Chain A
Amino acid sequence: MIVTRLSLTDFRNYRSVDLDLAPGPNLFVGRNGQGKTNLVESLGYLGTLGSHRVSSEQAMIRQGADAAIIRARVSHEDKELLLEVQLNRTGANRAQVNRHQVKVRELPGYFSTVLFAPEDLALVRGEPSLRRRFLDELLVLRNPRLSAVLSDYDRVLRQRNTLLKSARAAGVRGNDLSTLDVWDERLITLGSELIEARGRLVAELQPRVAEAYVSVAGDDHHAMLASRLSVLAGDPDAESDEQDIRTVMAAEEVMARFRESLDRLRRSELDRGMTLVGPHRDDLVLELNGMPARGYASHGESWSFALALKLASAGVLRAESRVGDPVLVLDDVFAELDESRRGRLGAAVDDFEQVLITAAVFGDVPPALARNTVQIERGTIVDARNPTGDTEPTPVEERMSDVAD
């Protein structure tokens, strides 16, 4: 799918902008702090209801304004959709598809995007929680129901941890805690579902990551993924590889191991007042030529791995999509890469239907991706090489109608 037109009103540093976009690569250039990231962040929001920069939607509303509007016309084959979302300073946000009110959380069902950003390096070098989030976000995009499983799991975890803490405070021992079983049951059911779903996703990502790594890094290094599962661990704090598996465990097996671990660890859980096993303690292990990437891989290698993960996730979404490719967004990525990686990343994304790229330095971007260039200065488009030849400016449309959610 491609975005044919993007309009922003009071979004970040944009008062009002209307922009036609071309199929294939679109490059946004401009000095630092002019609004390049802001522009692509708006599309990221439509696709994921989140931002790679902040968790608060308030920051996306232009300072001094009380609502921001993102409006994108997207097309796939001969079908066109108009997606709109209004972010309000106070009160609920609103969304429309083809001028019909929809729930905001339904928007990602109509538009998919994969964003590459300098922050992605943390996928390789950062904490396990970042890799869990990478997997979980992809899981939810593919299967929206899992968002409910994830939030239920978090809540069971909080309930169970609170119970363990209060039991510790009251000096309750092991089996006297009759309600713990009830929470264990929920924890195991929901947790096993997540473990299994992540496991299947990792298996699908594996060949794609290996292939993408080779194409981005340009060498025959072997990039491998493994799931580190705390339910397989003897000692929950040890980083032993008995926890690492490369195959998908069947649901019954996961549940059995989960139950065993909880039984075995009940004492320590009561001592420490927290849940020591489950998907919230798992990790996605990244290996390069048999060594863990975290702590071993060079800077360039780590970057290649991060890009490979993102390319693989785009590949997974593309393979399942009924509305064409996800729109790729490469925010400031080329500045981080050396010359040869730039060219190879350019080639790897070239066959996606649409790629949006931001760069402060025009020359950082491979020439093949600079066919359609838009110059951005202080929240305005100063020079758009008009890709569609349609020069008529569209008037800023009125606010989205005030219909309750």
Chain B
Amino acid sequence: MILHLDMDAFYAAVEQREHPELRGRCLIVGGSARRGVVTTASYEARRYGVRSAMPMFQALELCPGAIVMAPRMALYKEVSRRIMSILEEFSPLVEPVSIDEAYIDATGSERLFGPPAAMGAAIKARIRSEVHLTCSLGAAPVRFLAKIASEMQKPDGLTVIEPGAVPGVIAALPIRKVPGVGPRTLESLAALGVHCLGDVRRLPGALLERRLGKFGHRLAALAVGVDPTPVRPGAAAKSVSSEETLAADSTDRRLLGRCLLRHAEEVARHLRRNACRARTVTLKIKHADFRLANRSTTLSRPSQSSAVLFQAADHLLQAYVLEPPVRLIGLGASNLVRQDAAVQMDLFDAGGSDGDGWSRVDRVLDDIAGRYGAGVIRRASLADED
């Protein structure tokens, strides 16, 4: 059996946990003021129709009394790590798919924790008592149904689709709920008279493949309850990035530089935590006209140092024409290499270490942040921000 865990209104729930006075109230976590979009809305706000990815002004029209908070990613990531480590006590096969979502392969864990319903209840109890948050869990014999099961009862739900129940669930499952079915596919399928996943069984495989390509093949398999996608623990990230939409469009290189420094720290910390070094640094900019631009540079030697990543990105920024003004800025690191792999040394700058000694500063900062929380210590150039 495969379990799927989905935290309930994760960011909003974390904020309500941190601020007891917000409990039971409409809370929206999202982009600054009226420019941004809703990242997460508490269940109280959802009752008014507020949804994720909705423009903030629209959300506030629906729910004028809502309290809006800017996301605190560092905090959520810490909570997420805590949750993932709880999951890892139940099975070695845990695959986090996002900050608040993970698959758990429970095969073989049943001897220790009992049937999926008992194991699911135990996971929920641990998360409730240790992290003080609720989640929704789904369990099913295959991966895609586990996700569908976790959506069946939200919030705080636990749904098990037993193997015997699979054909019935598939027969009645609305096709739009199947992962990978978007508006285009939905349209093609509706033309074929498909409204539930079970309907797909009536169609010949060749027709599906002609209409939907490779996905047709997968859909035919899903329709008979087959999903070969395994749960892959620690599917190593290929890139790491961090970005933000600014409170106001800007051409101020110093301000943008400070943003980059913050994101460089975030990205570098992630690299260090995952024992990786990046060879390529990318500056991402979205202009006020929503035009996206990426500028990349290759480091002479892979790095996980905040200072090195920042310098590379800032160099790209200084050479970049900020016209029209910048709406969003971010920093990405890719071409990752494992930290335990040997690093080729350079002929022409013999002796220089990774970030000229900054690696020790990074280590100390990581230790302090690990013990007292991110944000208690930061660079002086970022001191006047909150």
Note whether A and B form a binding pair: no
B residues at A contact (CB < 8 Å): none
Binding site for B on A (CB under 8 A): none
